[in-house]
Structure 1
């Protein structure tokens, strides 16, 4: 049964505060979305190597390029969608979930490298169809004082989903005895079963949000319809979507630089952690060997660890941000993540990688919430989905750069030692943190001494009575 919200003008900030369970329901779909992304991040490089791929960074270009194409267009379209029954964002949640679940079922059954690369395009496009409107939903439904909480709730579910999804191959092997090795050119059974579970989780979690959340109708339906007619047409949508990069609010332009360096670091981690760990710590590059597959499974455990840490850290971020500032909070978290990546070079005991992942998890929690909280306060309400989609360019561009240059650096500059690429990513993440101090955040105001903070039963939903902008 759907949880309704009282009518409020979406073009203003006079929105009612939502309860813990309303925020829970509207964020729950991210649990499923992260099942898809976590399985992709932890296993696609492994699949590429298993199928004989050597230019891993280039193959991974499929993911950011699809995001760059899909997210701004979906944001533009969802801003101009309204159904009395399904709302504005929820139709896109559902369509993306159906397509992504299908792709997750197919991906582990591919038999050739070109099929794997093509399926990555399809899978990433489908996940992005669901994901981008979830970001805009926070701006649509939550008043400014709850937006950090809303994005933190999404980050919590991202962390929980990624913990389980990243560990699935390891769990299937160590708990249920399912093989994690296979003949040359074949995907291990443990990986296949992990993707099947991920498909079911993705669809179920997104469907929960679709069925339990109601959206605000446009404040002025006649004006909404007139604007939709004025901007109708596919090519006009393309032009508007990609032209937005030249008309960004000041805060968005400053955050773009921060995003560039932080996502360059993340992409280096997702592409090269498996080859770095298997070669630098497990001392093997034979994808059919038991040792390689143990190392690849342990990378999944490491990824689960940083996502688990991020789920916990997400609950603390609103408190830290109020005690200091959003900018300082983001700096602190990114420095922790950068040091975590750099520390991998000094590790030989695989278990110690979990310590490195603590820093990465802290950074991941902040990357998924703080920039969006800063951005939401700088965007016009009637273009929330559009600008959130355009903002994705600054996740995509560093990933494209990474796909084009990291292979060269790894092979030529670093002599094939992928662990040095992780060090490069760590340095990039620290630079990103320092650049955060330049961002203008209108809502990020230090609390006066007599400010009153109320904490709900959720443990992270706080209200600052003395200044509603925080």
Structure 2
């Protein structure tokens, strides 16, 4: 059955839940390292604390993809039940996270948060392929990217904004500042409300052949389907996997180490280590409090600057939204050029000042906007639509494996080959994105490239 073309607002409504998902990811990406440092983590241990994020994605996304492929309810739909379950659990975790009393609690909550965000996110990718005809898929993924950009920018600025509105940025040693607590609480409400909006405004289409679907569902087996999907993975998906490897290694490096690297290198405000101060001495406590406030203020500014990559990814998405509504594009070269810009943005961080740091994130935003749309558009043209959830989940392996490698010591080992200063991790991220850009030359499938 041929799928009908959807109007802009129909695509917008079905993608709107990504606003909440990105609130969760942006708060996690922009401020988890800050929470870890506040609770006493040293910089080189932070990537390891982040390992929860990729590991949960590795486990959760293929399973959720498989389950949603094999779900159909006339009342609840196919993908929507997973949106909603993930949203409820993620919102609760976002609310609790900044109240973590010690480091191990924050690390444990990150496992839960990333798992639940992944439960909501994976089916959104499959929903675009479910509902949109081939000629609208680039447009659909680009509109998702537009909403993601809005969410990234707003969420990344929340601690700074609530601080400007009068919520203090000061806190005792080992306590998360109230500005961060309020920001995470706002994120929790936005997450659940935006997912509810998509659930209530979007109707899912039933399987084309319902009897065949029921028969295949009764015969399906996750292990069997997983092995079959791995063995039948198209070559384009494997090539995209290499691009994704370098791309997500770079962004994991940014999320885990940008705050400690930039507060130290760009703002000259490293996180003070409470154990190095005699808190019983009022003079030393005053020195610590001043250094901690300077760090917390710098971390707010790093978060705000980081939010700019959401704005530029939004601009990227807006341009492509209007263009792809009526024209085809060369996905390969758009992705290549965007990744190159992001690589240059990371490298510029080494030379940036507090006033010019935003230019790095402007360039990074173009690569982020492309990463969130072009690989998925190319992939959706290359795989079996009946297995879209499973294949999107498998594709996530190419996202999480580089992050696991990075978290298990890959970042620390490689950036120290450049130099011991933490800012060199951002140079490593730039090199990785440039390698991702060059890898686009491997993509040769015309159906994947043009759309």
Q: TM-score, normalised by structure 2?
A: 0.92
* Correspondence for 1:461: none
CA distance in 2 between counterparts of 1:278 and 1:329 reads 32
CA distance in 1 between counterparts of 2:416 and 2:314 reads 37
Alignment of 1:9-28 (within 5 A): 9=1, 14-28=2-16
2:388 matches 1:366:
no
Deviation per residue, 1:100-129 (Å, 9 max, x gap): 000001100110111011000000000000
* Correspondence for 2:181: 192
Among 361, 385, 388, the residue aligned to 2:389: 385
Deviation per residue, 1:23-49 (Å, 9 max, x gap): 010010001110000000000000011
Indicate conservation of the 8 Å contact 1:72/1:242, yes or no.
no
2:346 matches 1:341:
yes
* Correspondence for 1:375: 379
2:232 matches 1:247:
yes
* Correspondence for 1:4: none
Change (3 A) 1:247 1:194: same
Among 187, 212, 217, the residue aligned to 1:223: 212
Deviation per residue, 1:277-306 (Å, 9 max, x gap): 111012232345222112110111112111
Alignment of 1:298-337 (within 5 A): 298-317=301-320, 325-337=330-342
CA distance in 1 between counterparts of 2:415 and 2:238 reads 33
* Correspondence for 1:3: none
Helix, strand or coil: the match of 2:447? coil
* Correspondence for 1:433: 437
Helix, strand or coil: the match of 2:350? helix
2:33 matches 1:45:
yes
CA distance in 2 between counterparts of 1:280 and 1:52 reads 20
Among 198, 203, 207, the residue aligned to 1:209: 198
Indicate conservation of the 8 Å contact 2:83/2:195, yes or no.
yes
Q: Which deviates the most, 63-72 or 405-414? A: 405-414
Please state how far the C-alpha of 1:340 moved relative to its aligned partner. Answer: 0.2
Helix, strand or coil: the match of 1:87? coil
Helix, strand or coil: the match of 2:356? helix
Deviation per residue, 1:253-293 (Å, 9 max, x gap): 11000000011111111111101111101223234522211
CA distance in 2 between counterparts of 1:435 and 1:197 reads 39
Among 355, 361, 377, the residue aligned to 1:357: 361
CA distance in 1 between counterparts of 2:251 and 2:323 reads 23
Please state how far the C-alpha of 1:244 moved relative to its aligned partner. Answer: 3.2
CA distance in 2 between counterparts of 1:302 and 1:110 reads 25
Equivalent pairs, count:
429
CA distance in 2 between counterparts of 1:415 and 1:443 reads 43
* Correspondence for 2:275: none
* Correspondence for 1:404: 408
Please state how far the C-alpha of 1:15 moved relative to its aligned partner. Answer: 0.4
CA distance in 1 between counterparts of 2:259 and 2:228 reads 37
Please state how far the C-alpha of 1:178 moved relative to its aligned partner. Answer: 1.2
CA distance in 2 between counterparts of 1:32 and 1:164 reads 11
Please state how far the C-alpha of 1:415 moved relative to its aligned partner. Answer: 5.3
Change (3 A) 1:432 1:354: same
CA distance in 2 between counterparts of 1:323 and 1:87 reads 31
CA distance in 2 between counterparts of 1:150 and 1:284 reads 42
CA distance in 2 between counterparts of 1:155 and 1:363 reads 11
Please state how far the C-alpha of 1:247 moved relative to its aligned partner. Answer: 2.9
Q: Which deviates the most, 293-302 or 62-71? A: 293-302
Please state how far the C-alpha of 1:223 moved relative to its aligned partner. Answer: 1.1
2:166 matches 1:177:
yes
CA distance in 2 between counterparts of 1:247 and 1:57 reads 34
Please state how far the C-alpha of 1:228 moved relative to its aligned partner. Answer: 0.8
Indicate conservation of the 8 Å contact 2:415/2:428, yes or no.
no
Among 122, 132, 136, the residue aligned to 2:112: 122
User: What stretches of structure 1 of length at least 5 have no aligned partner?
Assistant: 1-8, 447-469
Please state how far the C-alpha of 1:238 moved relative to its aligned partner. Answer: 4.5
Deviation per residue, 1:146-175 (Å, 9 max, x gap): 00010001001101011111100000112x
Indicate conservation of the 8 Å contact 1:286/1:292, yes or no.
yes
* Correspondence for 1:452: none
CA distance in 1 between counterparts of 2:416 and 2:134 reads 48
CA distance in 2 between counterparts of 1:444 and 1:320 reads 18
Q: Which has the higher helix share?
A: 2
Please state how far the C-alpha of 1:364 moved relative to its aligned partner. Answer: 0.4
Indicate conservation of the 8 Å contact 1:149/1:318, yes or no.
yes
RMSD (Å), alpha carbons? 1.7
